[in-house]
Chain A
């Protein structure tokens, strides 16, 4: 995998009459699996159009894989794969024909495109169905075909717009597993979604936008910080523990059959452990709670607004 930035957005702004789709977005995103998170209308699709060179920014500057999108949109598109959210496949053609044609359209010679179409359809689990018409495919198979056409040319970066949209839980897990594998193939992924669970499962970097403005960007691990809250399950003795902690001026609340205690570092944890032992309470579980991306998004969006 090449080093260096995958995306570099500098003061990126896109205005339409009466609305600001993106507002002064400045980020430097490393290669890898990136989640672009935001509610509907947050500016994800506009960001994709700008990255593909299909829209001009009102202000600012975009670099994709080291190329200036404004100067060389064709060069950028030659390095990208794109999987739109909506239906976009010709229904009267076979998956093999569609994927190889899009391989050729990405610049592969005809023979290589046919060979790679066959390999990629095998990879996404459509080996048996590749000579069937797409009109006969289920939603999950169409999503896989869309992913196949996006990666058939071995792009440096693939843009996935809501890849799990319309899939049942099993199909969703399969799709996320495929997306997670792309990173190991040396293909960077930018996955736009409003499903933070999906991002948490497969992305190692997250960019959150809301109302066209950057909420936060960073490595997923660094965003999922420990909260300083410890969850303790002592069975029915929860109220006793809360009372004892209260007497020690420690904040604790009983919730959903367990106790949440705010502790300060390892010393606080030792204190809690010793207290449970002294009270001779049964200890079923003791774990530090980690923030979810939902919480990060909600907290940081409030800060931004």
Chain B
């Protein structure tokens, strides 16, 4: 280190230190991009305004669990033939569909600025590929949606267990929930992440991407509602499959019941479950194809 003295002060030239520590390759770079995208989505290292939306949404989706556990606690010493339950684990996955708003807000924010501000050439000058980029972005959104959907279910499960007459009996009596909830929530998270990120990749403007995500879900669910009509009376219809918003909820039914639930607009449709799986996979594959196409950075 050299030092140049000038009167009382001194200017230090710390020079340049070469780096001879460990270096990761694709995996490390992809993980770094995944973590950076997570931080951005959650507003970490950003202004407080960016932190409000995700954590308010987490609070909102946790309210039903807290209310349910609270009722269980208040009524724990009363002799009831059946515990009062305002929401089931199955229905709670449906509440998590509200996280669609989160996806519409956050997916454009982690994808669009990279294209709009021409950051992509810098990214792809690093040891990553288009596939790595897509994996990192999808992984970040899916992880947060999963966490925000799963945490309230954990609150519900643990709360119910604690306010029940016997925690052990509750646990052994609800063992199926331990795998059904994470599986159903994972299906929902991956689906919303793919749809949200794929649509966001088509534009560089966040507002357009967010409006497009919400628009797609709204338009298809309204259209499905019109085509299916009142399914409680006359049964469901295959037209319910055009509802992009509800697709993961059909799969949730399959996870929880092994068939489409009686309250579903697909109920009563022959091979409805199979059609739901095919439609789900088709949407997922289309989204992934769009993403790989948009981030195919190497020229042929």
Contacts and interface: CB of A to CB of B under 8 A. Distances in A.
B298 A53 contact: yes
A92 B46 contact: yes
A102 B45 contact: no
Nearest to B128: A105
B36 A101 contact: yes
Contacts of B15: 123
A109 B20 CA distance: 12
State the majority secondary structure of interface residues on A. mixed
B121 A88 contact: yes
Contacts, number: 116
Interface stretch (B21-29, B64-72, B169-177, B194-202): B21-29
A108 interface: yes
B14 A119 contact: yes
B19 A154 contact: yes
Contacts of A49: 299
B244 to A, nearest CB: 31
A35 to B, nearest CB: 20
B21 A108 contact: yes
Given A91-B117, A107-B23, A109-B24, A54 B122 contact: no
B127 A78 contact: yes
Interface in B114-133: 114, 117-119, 121-129
A90 B33 CA distance: 14
B126 A87 contact: no
Interface string B25-52: 1101100110110000000011000000
B234 to A, nearest CB: 52
B258 interface: no
Interface residues of A, number: 48
B16 interface: yes
A271 interface: no
A52 B299 CA distance: 12
A149 B23 CA distance: 16
Contacts of B297: 54
A74 B129 contact: yes
B294 to A, nearest CB: 15
Nearest to B12: A122
Given A109-B22, A116-B19, A154-B18, A87 B118 contact: yes
Interface string A81-106: 11010111111111001000110111
- Leading 10 A-B pairs by shortest Cβ distance: A104-B32, A82-B125, A154-B19, A55-B299, A107-B23, A107-B24, A185-B16, A78-B127, A105-B126, A88-B118
Given A74-B127, A93-B45, A108-B21, 15 more contacts: A54-B297, A55-B298, A55-B299, A77-B127, A86-B118, A90-B113, A104-B29, A104-B35, A105-B29, A110-B32, A113-B32, A119-B14, A122-B14, A149-B122, A159-B125
30 contacts: A56-B300, A74-B25, A74-B127, A74-B129, A75-B127, A77-B126, A78-B25, A81-B125, A84-B121, A88-B118, A88-B122, A90-B117, A91-B117, A93-B45, A101-B36, A104-B28, A104-B35, A104-B36, A105-B126, A106-B23, A106-B127, A107-B29, A108-B19, A108-B23, A108-B24, A109-B24, A109-B28, A112-B21, A116-B19, A159-B125
Interface of B: 14-19, 21-26, 28-29, 32-33, 35-36, 45-46, 113-114, 117-119, 121-129, 297-300
